[in-house]
Amino acid sequence: MKINVHKSALVVIDVQNDFCTGGALEVKNGEDVVPGINAVLGKKLFKKVIFTADWHPVHHVSFASTHHRKPLEIIETKTGLQTLWPDHCVENSKGAAFHPYLAVERGDLFLRKGRDPKLDSYSVFFENDKKTPTGLKGYLVEHEITDIFLCGLAFDWCVFFSALDAVSLGFRTFVVEDLCRAVNFPEGFQDEKREEMVKTGIQILQKDDLT
């Protein structure tokens, strides 16, 4: 598809060390998205490029260790159900840093999410209470962005929730599937979330579709 450079933004979601091979919350082959993302960035197809990052304080609400529980358990919190994860992307840690080969020098905005110790954040638009904005919508509106292209980690979590919020906020929303990797736990979760995105009006693309 032909991209309107003056109206489009690429949002690169959470390509951080802790989500890559050997990281605390490893997404299988997560680092494989880096060369493709860099190649797309080199084409200069977008008015704005945004890099997002999980940036959690120690003892964050999403950490299983905070509650003395096991990862992947689900608990009830004041903001709803919370899936518990291994400690990951702790602020100022090596795990929270972007993958070292990611072309972050091409970024126009860097957005850190999940900074509230009592509130998790999957979407790049809202914290998980569905009310607290990250500020990204205002930035995109200010720069007259109407079309959003999402990629990164993970397809069935942060990319998924970000895409749903983007559509609900009125943006034309595209997910570049081969520039994402998925957790896919349990088996089939990835396909389930893909189907849900398509039903919501999100367009699923591949990197070679971007011109």
Marked catalytic residue, from 47, 87, 113, 147: 113
Averaged pLDDT for residues 99-128:
96
The reply to whether 199 belongs to the active site is no
Pairing of β 80-83 and β 74-77: antiparallel
Tens of pLDDT, residue by residue over 50-76, are 999 999 999 999 999 999 999 989 999
Tokens linked to 128? 């998980």
The reply to whether 7 belongs to the active site is no
Mean pLDDT across the chain: 95
Q: Any idea where the domains of the chain sit in the sequence?
A: 5-57+92-209
Is the model's pLDDT at 138 over the cut of 90? yes
The CA distance from 42 to 54, in Å, is 25
Tens of pLDDT, residue by residue over 186-197, are 888 999 999 999
Whose structure tokens read 């607290």?
132
**74 membership: H or E segment, kind and range:** strand 74-77
Is the model's pLDDT at 80 over the cut of 90? no
Is the model's pLDDT at 20 over the cut of 90? yes
Least reliable range by pLDDT among 79-83, 122-126, 177-181: 79-83
Those residues with Cβ within 8 angstroms of residue 78's Cβ, 6 or more apart along the chain or in another chain? 118
Cα 139 to Cα 3, 11, 23, 50, 111, distances in angstroms: 20, 12, 31, 10, 11
The CA distance from 89 to 95, in Å, is 5
For residue 56, give the DSSP letter.
B
CATH code assigned to 5-57+92-209: 3.40.50.850
Is the model's pLDDT at 78 over the cut of 90? no
The reply to whether 14 belongs to the active site is yes
- For 86, counting Cβ atoms within 10 Å of its Cβ (0-12 exposed, 13-18 middle, 19+ buried), the class is middle
Tell me the residue type at 16. Q
Do residues 85 and 22 touch, judged by C-beta distance below 8 A?
Answer: no
The CA distance from 2 to 128, in Å, is 33
Is the model's pLDDT at 164 over the cut of 90? yes
The torsion angles phi and psi of 146, rounded to 5 degrees, stand at -115, -25
Marked catalytic residue, from 156, 158, 180, 193: 158
Give the pLDDT band (50/70/90) at residue 85. very high
Averaged pLDDT for residues 5-12:
97
